[in-house]
Amino acid sequence: MGSDPSRRIAVLISGRGSNLQALIDAIAEGRLDATISVVISNRADAQGLDRARGAGVDAVVIDHRAFASRALFEEAVARELRGRRVSLVCLAGFMRLLGATFLDAFPNAIVNVHPSLLPAFPGVDAQRQAWEHGAKVAGATVHLVTGELDGGPIVLQSCVPVMDDDTPDRLAARILVEEHRIYPEAVRILLDGDHEVQGRRFVKRT
Ligand code: GRF
CA-proximal residue: ligand 1, atom 1 (nearest): 93
- The 10s digit of each residue's pLDDT in 70-117 is 999 999 999 999 999 999 999 999 999 899 999 999 999 999 999 999
Q: What distance in Å separates the CA atoms of residue 146 and residue 108, rounded to the nearest whole number?
A: 8
2-57 confidence digits (pLDDT tens): 568 899 999 999 999 999 999 999 999 999 999 999 999 999 999 999 999 999 99
What spatial distance separates the first Cα and last Cα of the chain, rounded to whole Å?
Answer: 32
Q: Which pLDDT value is given to residue 170?
A: 98
User: For a pocket test of ligand 1, which of 24, 47, 113 has the largest count of ligand atoms closer than 8 A to its C-beta?
Assistant: 113
Decide if 114 is catalytic. Answer: yes
Q: Which residue from 19, 181, 182, 187 has its CB within 8 A of the most atoms of ligand 1, so it is best to mutate?
A: 19
Q: Are 143 and 111 in contact (CB under 8 A)?
A: yes
Task: For residue 34, report the distance from its CA to the centre of ligand 1, in Å.
Answer: 20
Pocket of ligand 1 (CB under 6 A): 13, 15-19, 48, 92-93, 113-115, 176, 179
Residues 6 or more apart whose CB falls under 8 angstroms from that of 172 comprise 115, 127, 128
Question: Does residue 1 surpass a pLDDT of 70?
Answer: no
Of all atoms in ligand 1, which is nearest to the CA of residue 17? 12
Among 13, 16, 41, name the best residue to mutate to test ligand 1's pocket (greatest count of ligand atoms within 8 A of Cβ).
16
Asked if 7 contacts 33 with a C-beta cutoff of 8 angstroms, the reply is yes
Strands 154-161 and 137-144 come out as: antiparallel
Alpha carbon distance 128, 132 (integer Å): 6
CA 15, CA 22: separation in Å to the nearest integer? 14
What domains does the chain contain, in order, with CATH numbers?
1-107 (3.40.50.170), 113-206 (3.40.50.170)
Q: Please, are residues 34 and 9 in contact by the beta-carbon 8 Å criterion? A: yes
Catalytic residue among 114, 133, 143, 195: 114
Q: Which among 40, 146, 25 is positioned nearest to 84, based on CA atoms? A: 40
Question: pLDDT tens, 155-174?
Answer: 999 999 999 999 999 999 99
Query: How close is the Cα of 115 to the center of ligand 1, in Å?
Result: 7
